Amino acid sequence: MTRAERAAIIDRRLEELFPDVPVPLEHADPYTLLVAVVLSAQCTDVRVNQTTPILFARARTPEAMRRLSAAEIERIIRPCGLAPQKAKAIRGLSGMLCDRYGGRVPEDIDVLQELPGVGRKTALVVMAQAFGRPAFPVDTHIHRLAQQWGLTDGRSVVQTERDLMRAFPEERWNRLHLQFIYYGRRICPARGCDGMRCEICRTCFPGRRRPVRAKKA
């Protein structure tokens, strides 16, 4: 089976399994999504969704957030882990948005990555989920599944992103990004499948006899 044939099977099956793919992080606008994604680093979406209502009750705009001290933000977001760094980043990016962009989140991948605490994956998530721009952000689930399904060699997250964008049509990137995540969480978790157990792994590689040792993101 060729890579293109596997990609077609994966695309079709994920659409069948997850025809409705809500954005896991609750948000009201690009700014609240940006903050939520920053908080999600090394933290579950469930925990972030429990924390952001408390934070946004205090400040839900860049102007209001920059008026809070880093210590105040840190106290609220402590359950999300890495609180000192995330608090500093949230306050810093809020100030930069006010000073440079009129309090609005810029719809530009390169500009987003200049904000404190915003790397490529965070910027791509905002571009895809807040602005509807075609993107294929790669998290740990996607990086692992792409390797198990023979869509990339996994030598880097950036390479996985490129390989996935080549494997699937652009109009499917945003939905597939979420569908990969849902599949990785609900059906093929890292501890539940080694590339030989789940439906898609068995369909794409019926003759596989050895577990896949996926490279970490």
- In order of 27, 39, 61, 88, 179, the CA distances from 94 in angstroms are 16, 14, 8, 10, 30
Answer for the pair 41, 51: CB distance below 8 angstroms, yes or no: no
Answer for the pair 81, 43: CB distance below 8 angstroms, yes or no: yes
CA–CA separation, 193 and 200 (whole Å): 11
Answer for the pair 106, 141: CB distance below 8 angstroms, yes or no: no
* Positions marked catalytic: 121, 139
> Within 13 Å, how many C-alpha atoms sit on residue 128's CB side?
23
